[in-house]
Amino acid sequence: MKDQKIVVTGGLGFIGSNLVEELIKDNEVLVIDDLSSGKLENIKHLNKQGLNLIKGSVTELDLKNIFEDVDYVFHEAALISVPESIWDPLTYNEANVNGTLKVLIAAKDTSVKKVAFASSAAVYGDNESLPLREDAPLQPLSPYAVNKATGEMYCQVFTENYGLSTVSLRYFNVFGPRQDPNSAYAAVIPNFINAILRGEKPVIYGDGEQSRDFIPVKQVVKANIQACQSNENGVFNIALGKNTTINQLWDMIKEFMKIDVEPVYMEPRPGDVRHSLADVSRAKSFGFKPKPDFKDELGETVEWFTSKFKQS
Ligand SMILES: NC(=O)c1ccc[n+]([C@@H]2O[C@H](COP(=O)([O-])OP(=O)(O)OC[C@H]3O[C@@H](n4cnc5c(N)ncnc54)[C@H](O)[C@@H]3O)[C@@H](O)[C@H]2O)c1
């Protein structure tokens, strides 16, 4: 993607800032973020030329005016805590459903060529027919998952009724630099690294044989760009199509950090899905070919958290 005018909502967050880092190399990027969980420091290392920030909520800003000459919108902004969505579904609906609807309305009324919507594997709930295909029945188990399923449906309806190109990308467990260790997703990786750095024993809930389809954030960024550049519309799993157990993950991190500590095993968390694995064949249609081995990216993530820890 080159010489385009791009909006990244949620661009101060973990995935959004990684997208901005890549897109700013060859494009003009406008970040929209209300700083509810995002941080200015996530983009402060980037070249300011061509990079602009609007502080505010997608639910309140005049998006039609902002999108006037924009080519692509990567809609990453969302409230992302599953438990919080259960305590406060109305706030989540406002940010995640109305926010997405407002992005889509503004996009259809302007020059926007395509919207990439950050959806989530949460829409599958605890469906056990693995690997999960996009046509599996939706089984949202939380207001957050309902928000994402609704966002996908709005995207589809906007494509059908108004001809707005959209893709909904169902991210599985994303990891990488700038991930918030307190985030509701895949926090296991930053948590393991930070525990070692602090000289503490990491906690594993259950027997550690539960598995997840982890994907490095760089591959998520690539998938977003490929999806936007293609003629495809619709829903796509974004994962590696390979599952890793928590025990295997712990062994890899121990090896990188050259330590030999035994984790503390605690009671499994209620509601935790035992296994998660995506079928990633549909995303091949826009050229997404995930590299199944994520050792290098895990090593880079360890280095990033280690240097951040040393600076603090
Ligand atoms: N991290 C994962 O593994 C994962 C998995 C599945 C889906 N997702 C989705 O990917 C997207 C990015 O997630 P993340 O992990 O980077 O989370 P994050 O919390 O780091 O980023 C979300 C960003 O959106 C901003 N934001 C929230 N509400 C906003 C609003 N109303 N207006 C403007 N900005 C707002 C926050 O300040 C933050 O910068 C989210 O939509 C999330 O639901 C993430």
Q: Which residues of 81-112 are buried (b: 16+ CB within 10 A; e: fewer)?
A: bbebbeeeeeebbebbbebbbbbbbbbbebeb
Contact 101, 36 (CB under 8 A): no
Residue 231 has pLDDT above 90, yes or no: yes
Residue 19 has pLDDT above 80, yes or no: yes
Per-residue pLDDT, 182: 67
Cβ of 79 closer than 6 Å to ligand 1, yes or no, is yes
The values of phi and psi at residue 119, to 5°, are -95, -165
Residue 142 has pLDDT above 70, yes or no: yes
Residue of 76, 74, 80 whose CA lies nearest to 107: 74
Per-residue pLDDT, 43: 97
Tokens 């709930």 label which residue? 125
Residues 6+ away with beta carbon under 8 Å from 251 = none
Does the bond joining 131 to the residue before it have cis omega, within 30 degrees of 0? yes
User: H/E element holding 145?
Assistant: helix 143-162
- Taking the model in full, what pTM does it have? 0.97
Question: In whole angstroms, what is the distance from residue 201 CA to residue 204 CA?
Answer: 10
Mean pLDDT to the nearest integer, 46-70: 95
Pick the CATH number of 5-174+214-239 from 3.20.20.140, 3.40.50.1980, 3.30.565.10, 3.40.50.720: 3.40.50.720
Mean pLDDT to the nearest integer, 32-56: 94
- Pair of tokens at residue 188: 């296991």
Taking only the tens place, the pLDDT of each residue in 147-168 is 999 999 999 999 999 999 999 9
Per-residue pLDDT, 184: 53
Mean pLDDT to the nearest integer, 127-143: 95
Cβ of 297 closer than 6 Å to ligand 1, yes or no, is no
Residue 47 has pLDDT above 90, yes or no: no
Cβ of 118 closer than 6 Å to ligand 1, yes or no, is yes
Mean pLDDT score across all residues of the chain: 95
Which is catalytic among the residues 92, 124, 144, 185? Answer: 144
Tokens 């259960």 label which residue? 86
Cβ of 230 closer than 6 Å to ligand 1, yes or no, is no
3-class DSSP state of 110: coil
Phi-psi region of 35 (alpha: psi -120 to 50; beta: other; left: phi over 0): left
144 among known catalytic residues: yes
Name the residue of 15, 19, 115 to mutate for ligand 1: max ligand atoms within 8 A of Cβ: 15
